[in-house]
Structure 1
Amino acid sequence: MYEGKIIKFYREKYKLTQEQLGKDICSVTHISKIECAQTTYATDIITLLSKRLGINMELEVKKLINIKQQLFKWHEAIIMQLFDEMDQINNELEREELIKISEHNNMYQLLRARYLLLHNNSHEAFKIIKKIQKIENKLTPYDTNLLKHVLGIYYMLNEDYIAAIQTLKAIQNEFYNNPEYYYQLAVAYHTLQSPVLAYYYAEKSHHFFEYTNNYPKVIDAEMLMIIQVKDDDDDEEIINRFKNLIKSCDLCNAPDRKARVLHNLAFEYFRRKKYDQASWYYKESMLLKKSESPAYLLSLEGYILSAFHGDLIPNKKLIHHAENGLTIAKNNNQLLYIHLFKLLLYLLKSKEKEYYQYLSSKALPMFVKSGYTFWIQRSKKELYNYYYKKKLTDEALEMAQFLINP
């Protein structure tokens, strides 16, 4: 079975005809039947053909058989986010020529797409996805559902959360035993401001990550569960859960995750108007992030707002921070943060009219176009309060309608 495929592969690689390969060994017809697995053949013939091709058939068969095991090992490394291991396996598979004739080539291509998505290369990943979609009716049940998972992740990366949910919920667990996708569903529902469903799927993913000893992802799922809880009666419990997660990050040596936990803890303090603690945790989060990353700018915006509302730092210094944030956002063409830091500068310079004009005419339309649910809701609430305060009844009623029926 394997021998024929391997012989055909190397014969075509070396640009030999069946006649050239079989000369003084066997007939062209016999070569053709061997390659198509349509006949039995003597070991001696395979040995002679292998010698002519310059290959060790026993070794080549082992390599072809091991591809499946290697792919599942790669998939596990991707799920566990073991970057060194997944990079090593990726490099090994890229050098493995026999992958082209393996019955698991489609799985390889899909995992390659997922690997690219993990490295934020959605353009190249989508090229692979489109090719696989063209032969979807020929995929195994496992690969069909792996395609849905990879496509769902692609939609997540491109912030099309509704499409992501529709795609991920179509996965059939009986053919694809990888409940990791529950986590992506939870993130999508969280982004769309659906806390009950976000909590439900985060909890399901939490069980899976615990069962597989994937402790960094346990932290991610636990954090997602915590931030769905908005009951201020549990204030101390929620804060303690965040602090326990910070300890877990230290134990797992996970500074990136620690930065996210610190940011979310800061937001919890900010939401409760405890601006001193909020600003401190935002600053701690920033120290663990690259200064030009979107994650850094998000924490910087929170830090400036906390310090402003808590009257913790002179306005002149806050304006300087906001101007730095705007410069970074412009240099990296990060439109969301360009709007956020422009708004901050209007706020810090007490330009109320300009602030709300910019919010309604520039920032909010961009938030809506890009589907930034959190910023949409925050902006609408701010505009409603402003219109109500200014006795702009029609505008206030219109914004109230948007808040009731977003």
Structure 2
Amino acid sequence: MLEGKIIKFYREQQEIKQKDLGEGICSTTHISKIERGLTEVSKETIHLLSERLGIHMEKEIENYKSIDSLLKEWHESIIKKLQNKADSIKKRLEGFHLLQIQDFYRTYTLILSRYHLFSGENQHAKRLIEEMEMWSGLSPYEQNMLLHINGIYHMRVNHDYFKAISVLKKISLDAYSNRECFYDLAVAYHSIHSNVLAYFYANKALQFFVEMRSFSRMIESEMLMLLQLEQSDDSNVESKEYQRLIDMAEAYELEHQRALLHHNYAYHQLRSGEFKSASELYKKSVNTRQPQDPNYLGSLEGYINALTKEGRTSKDELLQIIEEGLTLSQKTENKTFYHFFTLHKLNVNEDKKGYFEYLEDKAYPHFQEMGYVLPMEHYGVLLFDYYMEKGDVGKANVYARGLMEKFRKNNQFV
């Protein structure tokens, strides 16, 4: 009986004993049965108990039903990446005392941890994850949602993509119907340069987001699929595919997705040697974002890279943009982009010796530690060529061994 749950919650919250609550109304035994839903109870008794607790029962029942509905809506808004809606629902939920009732507490905490990860509040998410890992008697749904949250945390915060994949692969969709986890698997596989599996899971995520009619997540999934095709050896991605998605993002006023598309289209043009077009697209992405946006530094770095390769921007102008990147990466404690911008500075200053010393001593070890496959491969080749050019075969072989691991197969030839 819902009334009993509500009475028990407010009684315990106000630290009132059962015998004191029931004094002059009903026995302690009857209070116990009411709270456990084991007996029929008159409206008059419920009214008297509610009055003693200082609550309006009909309003509390209405609140209970509202919380249940709002929690589902909140989770969906996070899945669809609707930040304003998620913020608004969180604020509404915080106004309900009943949010702390046993029926809702675990669900609320699970979704709250997702909200913190979604909002970039990683320390808050970590604290909740540590609390949730101490829980016992989780339902199958709760177990699988916690797996999803842990997988996201390992990927986005720890940058441990192999651990993220291991955790996300344990999710049972029979108990947890949120197939958004396919997208997270796709991102994790993309991050370790496993293009086939990244494409496979991005396609499965796309089907889920189509069913949800989440246009922003549909665009993100298609964009991730394009990236996999682009990085394959027989890539034949046409510019019109990016333009189609950009037009869709503009039609639905999806600024974040449009900035991502400009960024990825810029990289496509960069790989194709279209440096002028790449710099213009990176600039559009930079202009769409705020400096505090985690993706701002990535687009700014791409802009510098394209301008440098185009060769038409003055050294002073390039160094000015690089200093912006260095300052911002220091302010946000982003070591990865601090290394990138430092390498750009050394390159623009034509300090080849300083460039390779910094790359070997600082940047490359960081990329190894973080598990960044593409930078490791790219800079591994540069370091190999550098030491071969110097005639230091021993040093060159250190990087050659790392590159050869990519092609090592478990074949059984004689």
TM-score range, shorter chain: over 0.9
Match of 2:291 in 1: 291
CA shift digits 1:260-308 (9 cap, x unpaired) = 1111111111112221211121112111122354522222222222222
Match of 2:178 in 1: 178
Match of 2:276 in 1: 276
Alignment of 1:178-327 (within 5 A): 178-229=178-229, 230=231, 235=236, 237-291=237-291, 293-327=293-327
Does the aligned pair in 2 maintain the 1:64–1:102 contact within 8 Å?
no
Closer, same or farther in 2 for the Cα pair 1:399/1:5, shift >3 Å?
Answer: same
Cα distance between partner residues in 1 of 2:48 and 2:135: 37
Match of 2:363 in 1: 363
Cα distance between partner residues in 2 of 1:42 and 1:296: 62
Cα distance between partner residues in 1 of 2:4 and 2:364: 63
Closer, same or farther in 2 for the Cα pair 1:233/1:160, shift >3 Å?
Answer: closer
User: SS in structure 1 opposite 2:94?
Assistant: helix
Closer, same or farther in 2 for the Cα pair 1:232/1:167, shift >3 Å?
Answer: closer
Match of 2:164 in 1: 164
Runs (5+) with no aligned partner, structure 1:
none
User: SS in structure 1 opposite 2:295?
Assistant: helix
Does the aligned pair in 2 maintain the 1:263–1:281 contact within 8 Å?
yes
Does the aligned pair in 2 maintain the 1:343–1:358 contact within 8 Å?
yes
Superposition CA RMSD, Å: 1.9
Does the aligned pair in 1 maintain the 2:186–2:200 contact within 8 Å?
yes
CA shift digits 1:25-62 (9 cap, x unpaired) = 21222222222333333333222222332322233223
Match of 1:42 in 2: 42
Amino acid at match of 2:170: A
Amino acid at match of 1:98: L
Match of 1:140 in 2: 139
Match of 1:54 in 2: 54
Cα distance between partner residues in 2 of 1:365 and 1:41: 69
Match of 2:6 in 1: 6
Does the aligned pair in 1 maintain the 2:160–2:370 contact within 8 Å?
no
Does the aligned pair in 2 maintain the 1:193–1:374 contact within 8 Å?
yes
User: SS in structure 2 opposite 1:134?
Assistant: coil
- 2:319 is the alignment partner of 1:346: no
CA shift digits 1:220-277 (9 cap, x unpaired) = 0011000111357654x43211111111110111112111111111111111222121
Match of 2:116 in 1: 116
Match of 2:412 in 1: none
Amino acid at match of 2:348: L
Cα distance between partner residues in 1 of 2:101 and 2:298: 47
Cα distance between partner residues in 1 of 2:341 and 2:149: 34
Closer, same or farther in 2 for the Cα pair 1:286/1:202, shift >3 Å?
Answer: same
Shift of 1:21: 2.1
Aligned residues: 404
More displaced, 301-310 or 262-271? 301-310
Closer, same or farther in 2 for the Cα pair 1:321/1:86, shift >3 Å?
Answer: closer
Does the aligned pair in 2 maintain the 1:67–1:102 contact within 8 Å?
no
More displaced, 33-42 or 88-97? 33-42
CA shift digits 1:129-167 (9 cap, x unpaired) = 22222224x111111111111111111221121121111
More displaced, 145-154 or 390-399? 390-399
Amino acid at match of 2:250: D
Closer, same or farther in 2 for the Cα pair 1:64/1:296, shift >3 Å?
Answer: closer
Cα distance between partner residues in 2 of 1:123 and 1:100: 22
Amino acid at match of 2:107: M
Closer, same or farther in 2 for the Cα pair 1:200/1:360, shift >3 Å?
Answer: same
User: SS in structure 2 opposite 1:395?
Assistant: helix
Closer, same or farther in 2 for the Cα pair 1:242/1:16, shift >3 Å?
Answer: same
Closer, same or farther in 2 for the Cα pair 1:83/1:298, shift >3 Å?
Answer: closer
Closer, same or farther in 2 for the Cα pair 1:234/1:163, shift >3 Å?
Answer: closer
Cα distance between partner residues in 2 of 1:140 and 1:387: 57
Shift of 1:376: 1.5
Cα distance between partner residues in 2 of 1:89 and 1:331: 31
Shift of 1:106: 1.0
- 2:74 is the alignment partner of 1:74: yes
TM-score, normalised on structure 1?
0.94
Runs (5+) with no aligned partner, structure 2:
407-414
Match of 1:89 in 2: 89
Does the aligned pair in 2 maintain the 1:122–1:157 contact within 8 Å?
no
- 2:129 is the alignment partner of 1:129: yes
Cα distance between partner residues in 2 of 1:164 and 1:396: 33
Does the aligned pair in 2 maintain the 1:8–1:35 contact within 8 Å?
yes
Closer, same or farther in 2 for the Cα pair 1:87/1:330, shift >3 Å?
Answer: closer
Closer, same or farther in 2 for the Cα pair 1:316/1:82, shift >3 Å?
Answer: closer
Q: Percent of aligned pairs with the same residue?
A: 37
Cα distance between partner residues in 2 of 1:232 and 1:37: 65
Does the aligned pair in 2 maintain the 1:4–1:37 contact within 8 Å?
yes
User: SS in structure 1 opposite 2:207?
Assistant: helix
Match of 1:19 in 2: 19
